[in-house]
Amino acid sequence: MPSHVVIVGGSMGGLRAAEQLIANKFDGIITIVGDEQHMPYNRPPLSKDVLAAERDEQNSTLDHWHSSVAFRQRKSIADVQWKLGTPAVSSDLDSKTVTLADGEVLHYDGLVVATGLRPRRLDLPGPKSGRHVIRTLDDAIGLRGELEPGNRVVVVGGGFIGCETAATARTLGCEVHIVEPLAVPMIRPLGEEFGNTLRRVHEAFGVHVHTGVSVERAVACGDDSRRLSAVILSDGTRLDADVLIESVGSHPNVEWLDGNGLDLGNGVLCDNHLRVESRPDVVAVGDIARFPDPATGNIPRRIEHWCIPTDTAKRAAVSLIHHLNGAGEDTTVFSPLPSFWSDQFGLRLQGYGSPGDADHVSVLEGDLSNPIDDDPSALDGTVVGYYRGSQLVGVVMISPAPASARKYRDAIETSRAAVLTS
Ligand SMILES: Cc1cc2nc3c(=O)[nH]c(=O)nc-3n(C[C@H](O)[C@H](O)[C@H](O)COP(=O)(O)OP(=O)(O)OC[C@H]3O[C@@H](n4cnc5c(N)ncnc54)[C@H](O)[C@@H]3O)c2cc1C
């Protein structure tokens, strides 16, 4: 009997895992289970191009939007079996089975966990309509329908996705407020000085930024108790609102793995080869995988960047195939370079490494205090270095020239390599 690998999670991580299994000569059967109806698609455009796109008769269908963001289906995965629109609800890793919501039980020889994240929701009293998150294509299309010019939009959470969504809504002509509980937007990934510069960019374009406060309550319209009309902040401020976008973090989708004795605190704990603890027939990929990286101190962590589903899938496929073939352990150290980007008001932020690990920050090129007015390109070419002691652990650039991006990417690679060989 040919081996059977079940991949749970039909998005980028699941797709890349199937491609990598086949690229590494797995010749058994692969089944991908996904709870979304759609074939895998790219999420970064959801808070950028999909939200910003003009709406007209021709492009308003779900199929149109899906085809604009869908991943290319390579010929190599033509024989993969897809079970979409049916979530996995439970699993028994001793008997090697996964149970789907429709009652079907899948038996596997190898299992790939690729179920990613779902948005955290605010527990707010008040009306539920007008409240949005943005994780799926359906979320983005639902939100796009409410971003009409003049509509009042409150974005809770000043992280990358919250700030991107705020920038897009403002560009569409909405009146936009960001509500961030910390002192500065994007302070965790970028630090105080950079975060304050991006605050100035948002304010220059007319976004109102409220920091050090949270949303306490949603208020309904007088004539319709289900419709949102305002939110009340923790300092008592009232912000009129037609739309509330909750961008306040996420939960790993791990519940279907409950009862197997795994460490599921903040994702699925794996070893450096993406094997789930004491289960060499189970690997995890993408946003849900919590794995140690010797270049960043070996503390297991999840990384929510677009590059990670591909990098982890490459490593996890090799680990699983070694196990299924009874081959000895591949001891190659896995240390993927985190890389990320964000687009806001025409600025492209490009980052490498782990800026959040820094204990001090230094502007290496340009000037974060340059005046912006309505032209943020005054910041183009700025490069900020993030240091832990004397080690460069991260770099974030604003709209860098390609040669500069390569130079600083190389610098981070060199710095990480030095840790690995020390
Ligand atoms: C709006 C948005 C913008 C982003 N922009 C950027 C960016 O600019 N730059 C960047 O570097 N990264 C960005 N990212 C992050 C990047 O898109 C993610 O890191 C990547 O999508 C993770 O892929 P994944 O396959 O691991 O998880 P996911 O994409 O979350 O996929 C998991 C899949 O599993 C499914 N699933 C969940 N539970 C079950 C179950 N029980 N059974 C079956 N299926 C299940 C989910 O529905 C989903 O389809 C962005 C993400 C979002 C949401």
pLDDT in tens, 357-372: 999 999 999 999 888 8
Task: Please answer whether residues 144 and 243 qualify as being in contact, where contact means their C-beta atoms are separated by less than 8 angstroms.
Answer: no
- Do 4-118+251-324 and 121-248 show the same overall fold? yes
Which one of 3.30.390.30, 3.40.50.2300, 3.90.550.10, 3.10.20.440 gives the CATH number of domain 346-421? 3.30.390.30
Ligand 1 centre to CA of 324 (Å) is 27
3-state SS assignment for residue 397: strand
pLDDT tens digits along 301-332: 999 999 999 999 999 999 999 999 988 778 88
Band (pLDDT 50/70/90 cuts) for residue 277 is confident
Q: Which residues line ligand 1 (CB under 6 A)?
A: 8-13, 33-36, 43-44, 46-47, 87-88, 114-117, 134-135, 161, 253, 256, 286-287, 304-306, 308-309, 340-342
User: 121-248 architecture in CATH?
Assistant: 3-Layer(bba) Sandwich (3.50)
Under CATH, which architecture does the 4-118+251-324 domain have? 3-Layer(bba) Sandwich (3.50)
- What confidence tens digit (pLDDT) does each residue in 147-166 have? 999 999 999 999 999 999 99
Pocket probe for ligand 1: among 12, 35, 42, 43, the residue whose CB has the most ligand atoms within 8 Å is 43
Distances in whole angstroms, Cα of residue 11 to Cα of each of 23, 61, 271, 331: 18, 21, 22, 28
Residues 344 and 386: their CA atoms lie apart, in Å, by 21
Q: Which phi and psi angles does 418 have, rounded to 5°?
A: -65, -40
- When pLDDT is cut at 50, 70 and 90, the band that residue 61 belongs to is confident
